[in-house]
Structure 1
Amino acid sequence: MFRKRSKTTENTAATASTAVRPVWTFSSSGWLFLYHFGVIKCLKDLDLHRQVYTIGSSGGSCAGAFLHMDTDIDEVVRFVLSCALEARSSFSGLFQLKRYLKNAIRKFGTAELPNKLEGNYEISVSQLPWLRNRRITKWRDMEDVEQSILASSCAVPLAGLPVNVPGLGYCIDGMFSDSQLIKALVLGNSYFAYHDHASVTICPFYSSRAHITPSEYVPLWWAFFPPSPEELWRVYKLGQKDARAWVIKNRGRTNLTVTPIPDLTDEPEATVLQDGWHAWENVGEEISMLATGAVARLWSALSHVLEALGWTLVYWELAVHTVLSAVVAALAPVLPDSLKAGGSTAMAWKRCRDYYALLLSLKMVLKMVPALGGRIRMGMDAIDRIFSLSFCFRLFWFLKQSA
């Protein structure tokens, strides 16, 4: 009924049949699991859902189950939007995630679902008290399915108390035991262990390293505090657009047998949710517009100092990554596979060169100079590379967007 994640087969499927089947993983998401539903809608439209083995955690466990259900995804999304509207109506509504999930499972689930999921799906949970990761692969009835999904989505305290899973005892959100922040930040691995060896990874967070991830900025805090139903609907449509774009780009390089893809020009693109790569760089100008006189000059000077300090932290982070990547590359021949990021010495040296190239950038150095740094404009390609390689830069970016 369940199994422990091993170090050598962390994210492989539970059965031997998955050796010839693509493995798709749906990550933790919170309310952004509407993005997962958009991806699932695309897979169903392209008739790809019958071929894949799926792994889900947290919000991804709920969304991923619907990939194997004969249900109108648009109808499911409309139900989720009504739950989001209720959650926004009161403070207590934010802590009713378990009730919303339970209602959705009971509304759209059928008695045949356990048999449909078995051999095609597994759910990641964290077993208490030691937060051991467990993968649930078998279910006796709908009650077992419901308890498994509720446990995998139980982000305490937003989703209430731990859930009692038959055969495992009390469990909580799978993200607590599947996260690997150290490997992600130091070695460049994915942030979740179940992503490492999957064929295709899906994550609704903008800074993710997954294969299918938002092509437009989606605020991180929407995972915990749902935006308006209109914005969530755009997230859903964005998931469809990004999934279709990925399939079109990769259909010749995967083992997916893709049915003819419909003309995408009839599908209206999701509206841009947030804008502005240069917003973070223009912090001094924005502050100056909000104040006058001495206060404006004080804030302007302070903003230049803070901006320079931020770029200094980013630069030192890249320097540390360069050294660590070089050490890992040098020791790659003797390191165990579990510690290799990318799986080869060549990939390790490539990451080292990527970090080192940014350190040699004159604009990066000038960015650390107060006042002068604010006048230096970096190209979109450079910003994109820094965003993907620097955790500090992504953190400052999200803080700026939330301001």
Structure 2
Amino acid sequence: MDETKNEKVFDGGDKENNINRKNINLEKEKKDTGSINNNNHNNNLSEISEDTVTDNDSYVTFLTQGNNIGSFYKRKNHKPLPPKLALSFSGAGFLGIYHFGVIHCLQAYAPTLVSKVQRYAGTSAGSIIASLLAISPEIFNKSMKLLIQMADETNTLAFGALTNGFSMHEKLVRAVDEVIPDNVSSLKDRLYISMTNAKTNQNILYSNFTTKEQLTAAICASCYIPGWSAHFNAPHPVVDGVSYIDGGFSNNLPVFDDMETITISPFSGGADIAPIDNSLLSSYLPMQITFGKQMYSASFANIQRMGYALFPPKGEALKMYYDLGFKDAFLYLYESGRLERPNGTKV
């Protein structure tokens, strides 16, 4: 494999504490203008378009500590693709932008994998991502700007989403209603949204979508955190006559028993595609906690991410999580042997 000349490292993780990717460098030509990985998303995240993420004229080379990685099919973690797959997206709050980076990488470098996805599951912000993908990749790509706009608006408020008189729930209802089409009947048994029963705290994976109103209510219920989404005394979202709150309280990362499920999360821990936190403390005292059926690394970086999920970082710091999602997905594809060379590129 020829190495690309005049290359620039694609590294979203070097800006975040406790992220150290020693095993992979993603590089690209500075002269390329059509790459999935071009400077458009490095300079202005809000300008990312479907053209940016579907034009694969250039190929991202990958090296391990400066050496060619060799064959895809000789690694211990190689996983042949099954006939059917599911994607599951964890709750993420404003770090849902990480999910966009992951999907854009999969679309560019694993089209066969993407074509085998039969189900989408999501919790909280992950339910929005899952819904958009199940509806249409085009709608998915266009919707990232809405997330960025909501983050920007929240950052203008004195106390973020907790500012008196502001309702994140009402804001989300309007945003979801704007992007969801009228006909959602095709989503039944393809899209699963995790919600928590407000009275029993039991989880439900809801998939009985027949109307746009049902889907909108389910998404907003899955994202509803009492006291943050709206004041504590506000009525909880209702789906089919039952009150629900954020699915992350009971199942933050759904997995299907009858189908391989690729799990995705911006929090380091047990997900298939997730950040890796390397620190001196974690080397000597590896600790993990489980909440909402999802395993998390007990790291300072995860604590920071949880804060960012509710109170978004500004500008470059938020953009970095898109880059990080792209890179983590690329690393997953490499390690699992599922990485594909984009059409039209040279060896």
**Residue in 1 aligned with 2:153?**
86
Aligned partner (choices 98, 116, 140) of residue 51 of structure 1: 116
Tell me how far apart the structure 2 counterparts of residues 209 and 155 of structure 1 sit (CA, whole Å): 23
SS in structure 2 of the partner of residue 24 of structure 1? strand
Correspondence for 1:174 among 243, 247, 265: 247
Rg larger for: 1
Question: Which AA in structure 1 matches 2:327?
Answer: K
Q: How far off is 1:223 after superposition?
A: 1.0
Amino acid paired to 2:203:
N
- Name 2:270's counterpart in structure 1: 209
Q: Distance in 1 between matches of 2:235 and 2:84?
A: 33
1:229 equivalent among 294, 307, 315: 315
Q: Which residue of 1 aligns with 2:94?
A: 31
Counterpart contact for 2:98–2:324, Cα < 8 Å:
yes
Q: How many residues align?
A: 227
1:39-78 pair list within 5 angstroms: 39-45=102-108, 46-47=110-111, 48-52=113-117, 53-68=119-134, 69-71=136-138, 73-78=140-145
Partner of 1:241: 327
* Structure 1: unaligned runs, 5 residues or longer: 1-18, 180-191, 253-257, 265-403
Q: How far is the alpha carbon of 1:249 from its aligned partner? A: 2.4
Equivalent pairs: percent with the same residue?
26
Correspondence for 2:293: none
More helix, by proportion: 1
Give the drift of 1:176: 1.2
Looking at secondary structure, tell me which structure has more strand per residue: 2
1:249 match: secondary structure: helix
1:1-400 equivalences in 2 (<5 Å): 20-45=83-108, 46-47=110-111, 48-52=113-117, 53-68=119-134, 69-71=136-138, 73-91=140-158, 93-95=160-162, 96-112=167-183, 114-160=184-230, 161=234, 163-178=236-251, 192=253, 194-195=254-255, 197=257, 199-205=261-267, 207-215=268-276, 219-220=304-305, 221-251=307-337, 260-261=341-342
Quick one: distance in 2 between partners of 1:210 and 1:78? 26
* One-letter code aligned to 1:117: L
Change (3 A) 1:177 1:241: same
Kept after mapping to 2: 8 A contact 1:84/1:229: no
- Partner secondary structure for residue 211 of structure 1: coil
Q: Which has the higher contact order (CA 8 A, sep 6+)?
A: 2
Residue pair 2:155, 2:312 contacting (<8 A) in 1 also = yes
TM-score when normalising by structure 2: 0.58
CA pair 153-262 structure 1, distance change in 2 beyond 3 A: farther
8 Å CA contact retained: 1:144, 1:165: no
What is the alpha-carbon distance in structure 1 between the residues aligned to residue 181 and residue 225 of structure 2?
A: 26
- Give ranges in structure 2 of 5+ residues lacking alignment: 1-81, 278-300
1:372 aligns with: none
Give the TM-score normalised by the residue count of structure 1: 0.51
Partner Cα separation in structure 1 for residue 236 and residue 344 of structure 2: 44
Contact 1:44 1:67 in 2 (8 A): no
Provide the rounded CA distance (Å) in 2 between the counterparts of 1:262 and 1:51: 18
Q: Residues 196-219 of structure 1, C-alpha deviation per residue, up to 9 Å, x if partnerless?
A: 8553111111x3221100247563
CA distance in 1, matches of 2:216, 2:143: 16
